[in-house]
Amino acid sequence: MTRSPWWRNAVVYEVYVRSFADADGDGDGDLRGITSRLGHLADLGVDALWLTPFYRSPLADGGYDVADYRDVDPRFGTLTDFDALIAAAHARGLRVIVDIVPNHTSDQHPWFQEALAAPPGSPARERYIFRSGPPDRPPTDWPSAFGGPAWRRLPDGDWYLHLYATEQPDLNWRNPEVRREFESILRFWLDRGVDGFRIDVAGGLFKDPEFADLGEMARHGAGSPIHSRPEVHEVYREWRRILDEYPGERMAIGEVWSEGPELARYLRSDELHQVFQFDLQFASWSAREFRDIVTAAVAAVVPAGAAPTWVLSSHDVVRHVTRYEQPPGMPGIGLARARAALLCVLALPGSAYLYQGEELGLPEVLDLPADARQDPIWKRSDGAVLGRDGCRVPLPWGGKKEPYGFSPDGGGAAPWLPMPEEWRSLTVEAQDHEPTSTLAFYRRALRLRRTLVDELPETLTWRDAPPTALVFQRGPLTCVVNFGDHPVRLPEGEVLLTSGPLYGELLPGASAAWLRTA
């Protein structure tokens, strides 16, 4: 098992709840579905799961629009189902992290409904960010991350801020009531036994009190009016005090879109345990880019005493099998590279966050019908931007046709997004006993990492390598990743695992190897 504290070099598996497993046959995944499939996660060999939001929600942004932070959406189950899931996960030695969404609520949250019913200037509006202003010009030039302006005007003349969809009004973190409420929500889930939190939009809670335009801030070199403002750190100090009151190494990881010293501030010893480091999600398949990103990621967090985190895919980006399929014309290359990338990230110091379905080598689904798409990015761009539905298609578990075991057989609702026919050969069942399958490979890699991890120092040393390859060493483990098309010679040592077949002592292009070296 992993060293203490557990999260420092854990492998965490992101469960996109709506798309993992559907026990009740309504076409949406649910908590009972997850409980029924915990065996898959235990066999895979991950240390923890991170559940995306399953709280009461109209699902305007897949559940990142929360209407009740203390209840489970009926589509996803009940609090009793949640308790059963936690107990079953813990019984298998799996930790459970839940998502917390503090930057905004759903527009259906009772607080926002109250604010809408109350007049401008009333205390109910003070929980959100309302501003008066002329009807033809939003109060600032801030954009919504999903496209268009971040302000919406009400008939009474007030505008409210939504950095994401219009259905996601931003909370006012300068209001002490908001802070108290979230402290109580954290305790609610900690009391139910969660091992940690993934904090959504963790850097965004505070906005410039002067409501300066982005353009104006940039001209004065004054940082961002909406990201990583200093006040946010006081919130995480308080959250850390709460986490530390509980036994069992409870933790928090922030979704922070900052770099270098600004990122490290979140990792001070009385703040968050981890932050996501997303750059690999945007790297092309290049030795140079990977090496630069790894070097920068380590340098960003190690001085703060933290360990880095690695992410290849998530519910927010195109799946890496598809990203690595560039340039087109080499069928299968994306999958070969994705398998190599796994050995790379699992050999690095720190922890890895895997995204459901990558263990099956799932590609992005690019050809979803327009009327099936639900991502607000797709909707707000009038279909100009495909958005994130293509990485959120339900998981194929078995069988020969939709719903591929995602929902129980026979007469239930269709999966909330259609599943491609080609996934017939990618189901868990199809790969389970196939020794060369991606699933079998993930299991081997995770098992081996577990047996090695205690021997590995938290530092890494780069070794000489041809320009299109990377070689790094951590104590007895050497990892070689060949980003090129031509084979490279392996260093001396015992080959422990490769992502594809070897040619004698040569590691072919688009593959990686782990060796035990002196």
If residue 441 lies in a helix (H) or strand (E), which one and from where to where?
helix 438-452
Q: Using CB under 6 A as the criterion, what x/- string covers residues 163-182 for binding ligand GLC?
A: -x------------------
* Residue 57, burial from CB neighbour count under 10 angstroms (0-12, 13-18, 19+): buried
According to the binding rule CB under 6 A, does residue 200 interact with ligand GLC? Answer: yes
CB of 29 to ligand GLC, least distance (A): 16
User: Looking at beta carbons only, is 165 or 480 nearer to ligand GLC?
Assistant: 165
The single residue among 16, 54, 64, 442 that binds ligand GLC, judged by CB under 6 A, is: 64
Q: Using CB under 6 A as the criterion, what x/- string covers residues 236-255 for binding ligand GLC?
A: -------------------x
Q: Which amino acid is at 276?
A: F
Closest residue by beta carbon to ligand GLC: 64
* Residue 180, burial from CB neighbour count under 10 angstroms (0-12, 13-18, 19+): exposed
CA dist 148 and 164 (Å) reads: 10
Whether 375 is catalytic? no
According to the binding rule CB under 6 A, does residue 355 interact with ligand GLC? Answer: no
Which residue among the candidates 24, 61, 200, 271 is catalytic per the annotation?
200
User: Looking at beta carbons only, is 55 or 442 nearer to ligand GLC?
Assistant: 55
CB of 231 to ligand GLC, least distance (A): 20
CA 93 to chain centre: 21
Which two three-digit tokens encode residue 409? 């057989």
DSSP code, position 2: P
* First-to-final CA distance of the chain: 24
User: Looking at beta carbons only, is 24 or 389 nearer to ligand GLC?
Assistant: 389
User: Looking at beta carbons only, is 271 or 389 nearer to ligand GLC?
Assistant: 389
According to the binding rule CB under 6 A, does residue 213 interact with ligand GLC? Answer: no
SS (H, E, C) 197-263: EEECCCCCCCCCCCCCCHHHHHHCCCCCCCCCCCCHHHHHHHHHHHHHHCCCCCEEEECCCCCHHHH
Number of residues that bind ligand GLC (CB under 6 A): 9
Q: Using CB under 6 A as the criterion, what x/- string covers residues 424-453 for binding ligand GLC?
A: ------------------------------
CA dist 271 and 238 (Å) reads: 8
The single residue among 47, 61, 170, 325 that binds ligand GLC, judged by CB under 6 A, is: 61
The single residue among 31, 97, 201, 428 that binds ligand GLC, judged by CB under 6 A, is: 201
Whether 289 is catalytic? no
User: Looking at beta carbons only, is 50 or 472 nearer to ligand GLC?
Assistant: 50
Q: Which of 342, 355, 283, 280 is nearest to 314 (CA)?
A: 355
Q: Which residues contact 267 (CB under 8 A, 6 or more apart)?
A: 273, 274, 275, 301, 304, 305, 306
Q: φ, ψ for residue 354 (rounded to 5)?
A: -90, 155
Which residue among the candidates 244, 245, 485, 494 is catalytic per the annotation?
245
Q: Using CB under 6 A as the criterion, what x/- string covers residues 313-332 for binding ligand GLC?
A: --xx----------------
User: Looking at beta carbons only, is 52 or 438 nearer to ligand GLC?
Assistant: 52
User: Looking at beta carbons only, is 280 or 340 nearer to ligand GLC?
Assistant: 280
The answer to whether 256 and 266 are in contact (CB under 8 A) is yes
Which residues form the interface with ligand GLC (CB under 6 A)? 61, 64, 101, 164, 200-201, 255, 315-316
**Which residues have a catalytic role annotated?**
200, 245
